[in-house]
Amino acid sequence: MTASDRPPVRIGLIGAGFMGRQHIDFIDAAPGAELVAIADPALVAADVGHPVFASAAEMLADARPDAVVIANPNALHVDTAVECLEAGVAVLLEKPVAVDYAQSLRLVDAVELLGGRLLVGHHRRHHPAVARARAAIRDGELGAVVAVSGMWSARKEDRYFTDLPWHSAPGAGVTLINVVHDLDLLRHLCGEVAEIQAMYSSHARGLAVEDTVSLSLRFESGVIGSFLASDAGVSPWGWDQVTEETPAFPFLPDGVAYRIVGSRAALSVPNLARYSYDPSIPADWHSPLSRTYLPVVPRGSFPAQLDHFLDVARGTAQPLVSAEDASRTLALVEAAGLAARSGRTVDVARFRADARAQGES
Ligand SMILES: NC(=O)c1ccc[n+]([C@@H]2O[C@H](COP(=O)([O-])OP(=O)(O)OC[C@H]3O[C@@H](n4cnc5c(N)ncnc54)[C@H](O)[C@@H]3O)[C@@H](O)[C@H]2O)c1
């Protein structure tokens, strides 16, 4: 059976707010997917061209989708995802996988127990430049990776914090809302983080949550990393400004979110500029560097993520971002918070083990 002969995967959307509406557009544009229903208590009286239900349970029972996309508030993620897995449907769950690491473990256990098909929406991993950068690292195109640095800084509008008060309350902050994507990608590119140090500041906005952070990372591979982020500082540096992922951000072509330095070459991401010495000259700091761009076929992360999810739903692919994987990213965010509060270096594996043991006691 060719791809075009296969029946479309029938999808239900749970939560049709800012992100959920974007998922509607992605599903409508995907030949292999069909949106069959929406569950959102705020939309029951609205005419949105699809059957609308007040709850996920009602939608699952009545519309019987093959798969769901969950884009409801973070605090509902784990309960909703477990409910859908128990109903036997495949799940694309928006990030963060849960509001905290302890809660995410409940989902990890449920996926394993139920043999569930679940993909977490860390969409950047599906960007073609990320796959190419990962291959360059894996295949030694940079030599041995020595270090990585990254930045995400963009000044959010003030009403971002006043219109939605949870944005300025503990449980939010630039680390969990934005840097979670970068930490996930750094793990994807450079492997697990062994140790983390952090400095947080609320100085620029004066809110209860951090607006600016600096992180130091030691990866298990021995690679050293640093990451700087702020939602108060104007800058062109950050994934959202240097990709065309969302029209909500201006696009600055040839921009850089991450810099990876190896023993033979350097690579910036996502513009994939590779800097190296000509093989005919000595490979040291006095020689001129040449720059080439690694070729890649452009594609948005979100459509690529949906295509992958259709394969996960059909049972023909394992999820690129599993619940277990995403929960490790969440643990890293929490370990960063602990490092910032305590001023100590946090051993990430021990942090995860302690949190798991606490949850079981
Ligand atoms: N991947 C990304 O880059 C990205 C970007 C933005 C948001 N997100 C994630 O998407 C999710 C939604 O964020 P948002 O910005 O769209 O929030 P939002 O507040 O705009 O939308 C949430 C929607 O969920 C609905 N909802 C509330 N309770 C519900 C329930 N019990 N059942 C079904 N629906 C319910 C609300 O009515 C609302 O329409 C969050 O998890 C967020 O972290 C991801």
Protein residue with least CA distance to atom 39, ligand 1: 17
In this predicted structure, what is the pLDDT of residue 4?
63
Residue 168's CB: how many other CB atoms inside 10 A? 18
In this predicted structure, what is the pLDDT of residue 55?
97
Which DSSP symbol is given to 29? H
Measured between alpha carbons, how far is 315 from 335 in angstroms, rounded to an integer? 34
Which DSSP symbol is given to 60? H
Residue 336 near residue 198 (C-beta atoms within 8 A): yes
Give the H or E element holding residue 49. Answer: none
pTM of structure = 0.94
Measured between alpha carbons, how far is 321 from 117 in angstroms, rounded to an integer? 11
In this predicted structure, what is the pLDDT of residue 1?
55
Residue 284 near residue 264 (C-beta atoms within 8 A): no
Protein residue with least CA distance to atom 28, ligand 1: 72
Contact partners, residue 125, CB within 8 Å, separation at least 6: 184, 185, 188, 301, 320, 321
Measured between alpha carbons, how far is 20 from 23 in angstroms, rounded to an integer? 5
Among 13, 40, 44, which residue has the most ligand 1 atoms within 8 Å of its CB, making it the best to mutate? 40
Measured between alpha carbons, how far is 173 from 202 in angstroms, rounded to an integer? 9
- Check if 16 has its Cβ closer than 6 Å to any atom of ligand 1: yes
- Check if 189 has its Cβ closer than 6 Å to any atom of ligand 1: no
- Measured in Å, residue 190 CA sits from the centre of ligand 1 at 30
CA nearest neighbour of 116 among 323, 316, 328, 356: 323
Protein residue with least CA distance to atom 31, ligand 1: 55
At residue 323, what are phi and psi to the nearest 5 degrees? -60, -40
Measured between alpha carbons, how far is 356 from 269 in angstroms, rounded to an integer? 34
In this predicted structure, what is the pLDDT of residue 3?
57
- Measured in Å, residue 197 CA sits from the centre of ligand 1 at 31
Residue 151 near residue 257 (C-beta atoms within 8 A): yes
Contact partners, residue 149, CB within 8 Å, separation at least 6: 225, 226, 227, 258, 259
The structural domains of the chain, with segments of one domain joined by +, span 3-123+303-328, 128-298
Give the H or E element holding residue 163. Answer: helix 159-163
- Measured in Å, residue 92 CA sits from the centre of ligand 1 at 13
Protein residue with least CA distance to atom 19, ligand 1: 17
User: Would you say the CATH fold of 128-298 matches that of 3-123+303-328?
Assistant: no
- Check if 99 has its Cβ closer than 6 Å to any atom of ligand 1: no
Classify strands 90-93 and 118-120 as parallel, antiparallel or unpaired. parallel
Protein residue with least CA distance to atom 5, ligand 1: 19
Classify strands 67-70 and 273-277 as parallel, antiparallel or unpaired. unpaired
Residue with tokens 């003030």: 158
Instruction: Give buried/exposed letters for 182-209 (b at 16+ CB in 10 A, else e).
Output: bbbbbbbbbeebbbbbbebeeeebebeb
CA nearest neighbour of 302 among 62, 28, 83: 28
Q: Over its length of 361 residues, how does the chain's per-residue pLDDT go in tens digits?
A: 555 678 999 999 999 999 999 999 999 999 999 999 999 999 887 888 899 999 999 999 999 999 999 999 988 999 999 999 999 999 999 999 998 999 999 999 999 999 999 999 999 999 999 999 999 999 999 999 999 999 999 999 999 999 988 889 887 899 999 999 999 999 999 999 999 999 999 999 999 999 999 999 999 999 999 999 999 999 999 999 999 888 888 999 888 999 999 999 999 999 999 999 998 988 899 999 999 999 999 999 999 999 999 999 999 999 999 999 999 999 999 999 999 999 999 999 999 999 989 888 7
Protein residue with least CA distance to atom 27, ligand 1: 72
CATH class of 3-123+303-328: alpha beta
Fold of 128-298: Dihydrodipicolinate Reductase; domain 2 (3.30.360)
- Check if 167 has its Cβ closer than 6 Å to any atom of ligand 1: no
